[in-house]
Amino acid sequence: MEHLQKFLLELGRDFFFVARQQRITIDGDHYYIDLVFYHRKLRCFVLIDLKTDKLSHNDIGQMLLYTGYYEKENMDNGENPPVGLILCADKNDAVVKYALSENQRKIFTSRYQTYLPTEKELTDELRRERYQIEQELKLKKETDSES
């Protein structure tokens, strides 16, 4: 997550880091948003959720909860609604199509895509991160078995 955070900040596209693992509490239940940025030109928060597995409808529902919370609790006058970005190892386009209405798809893609990193940039970075984590785990397992 730290590397991904640095990657987004290095893009230099008006991203400002706000929080990592930001806890939000809704009716006594705690949730954690992996990364929160603010985008100056878009005048909105960008909420990022990292998934190491295939995207599920539950992941989309979780992001809708986060963006809905931010819209009601954290938006100031003159700001645009938050953008939710889910970075995952794999996805099923049909799940995305049916889990998000037309309005939501416009918010998540076309309205903001000119200022956000490209899907390829994010996918490549996520793959690099996953590979690095797998290598570190493999090395740790080998070190532990030698001890």
**120 burial level (CB within 10 Å; 0-12, 13-18, 19+):** exposed
Fold of domain 2-146: Trna Endonuclease; Chain: A, domain 1 (3.40.1350)
In tens digits, what is the pLDDT along the chain, a chain of 147 residues? Answer: 566 666 666 655 677 888 889 999 999 999 999 989 888 888 889 888 887 777 778 888 888 899 999 999 998 999 988 888 887 767 666 666 666 666 554 334 323 334 556 667 767 776 777 777 788 888 888 888 776
Instruction: Read off the pTM.
Output: 0.63
